[in-house]
A and B are shown apart, each in its own frame.
Chain A
Amino acid sequence: GQNIDQPTEMTATEGAIVQINCTYQTSGFNGLFWYQQHAGEAPTFLSYNVLDGLEEKGRFSSFLSRSKGYSYLLLKELQMKDSASYLCVFMDSNYQLIWGAGTKLIIKP
Chain B
Amino acid sequence: IAGITQAPTSQILAAGRRMTLRCTQDMRHNAMYWYRQDLGLGLRLIHYSNTAGTTGKGEVPDGYSVSRANTDDFPLTLASAVPSQTSVYFCASSEGTSGGADTQYFGPGTRLTVL
Task: Flag whether A87 is at the interface (Cβ < 8 A).
Answer: yes
- B-side contacts of A100, CB under 8 Å: 42
- A-side contacts of B42, CB under 8 Å: 4, 87, 89, 98-102
Least CB distance, A87 to chain B, in whole angstroms:
7
Name which residue of chain A comes closest to B102, CB basis. A95
Of the listed stretches B13-21, B72-80, B103-111, chain A binds B103-111
Interface size class of A (residues with CB under 8 A): 20 to 34
**Candidates A43, A48, A89; contact of B106 at CB < 8 Å:** A43
**Candidates A4, A42, A50; contact of B109 at CB < 8 Å:** A42
Task: Flag whether B44 is at the interface (Cβ < 8 A).
Answer: yes
Number of interface residues, chain B, beta carbon within 8 A: 21
Least CB distance, A6 to chain B, in whole angstroms:
9
- CB within 8 Å for A42 and B98 given contacts A97-B45, A99-B43, A99-B44: no
B interface, over-half SS:
loop
Task: Flag whether B53 is at the interface (Cβ < 8 A).
Answer: no
- B-side contacts of A99, CB under 8 Å: 35, 42-44
A45–B90 CB distance below 8 A: no
Task: Flag whether A30 is at the interface (Cβ < 8 A).
Answer: yes
**Candidates B41, B90, B101; contact of A43 at CB < 8 Å:** B90
Q: Which residues from chain B sit less than 8 Å from chain A, CB to CB?
A: 35, 40-45, 58, 90, 98-109
Q: Which 9 A-B pairs have the closest CB atoms?
A: A99-B42, A42-B106, A48-B101, A99-B43, A45-B103, A101-B42, A100-B42, A43-B106, A42-B108
